Amino acid sequence: MPGGYEWLIIIAVLLLLFGAKKLPEMARSVGQSARVFKGEMKGLKDDEAKAKNAPEGKPAAENQAPAAPQELPAASQAPADPAPQVAQPQDRGTANSN
């Protein structure tokens, strides 16, 4: 495990590579991923426990009501605006004849 000076060097290198603005965003993303992973692991353990306690004739999935669909997170960026309409000059049939 790195000691005090090694941690300072590692942090300095990370700051140089990614910048001070990106590091908190990256840490937030890693934390959120860890929470999702932990929740999924707990769900798998709960499913296994339910399967062990279910009656022999019926699988555990038939004993419970179907799960409600989860909502997707809101998009962080607004959808791209359509290209602006450019007015085309109209030909009025007034040609110069020489």
Q: Are 60 and 54 in contact (CB under 8 A)?
A: yes
Q: Are 57 and 49 in contact (CB under 8 A)?
A: no
Can you give the pLDDT at residue 79? 52
Q: Are 51 and 60 in contact (CB under 8 A)?
A: yes
Can you give the pLDDT at residue 15? 87
Can you give the pLDDT at residue 3? 82
Can you give the pLDDT at residue 67? 65
What ranges do the domains of the chain cover? 20-56
**C-alpha–C-alpha distance, residues 9 and 13, integer Å:** 6
Can you give the pLDDT at residue 38? 94
Can you give the pLDDT at residue 42? 93
* Tens of pLDDT, residue by residue, the chain (98 residues): 778 889 889 888 988 888 888 888 888 999 999 999 999 999 999 888 888 887 665 555 555 666 666 776 665 555 555 555 656 666 666 556 55
What are 17's two structure tokens? Answer: 């590579």
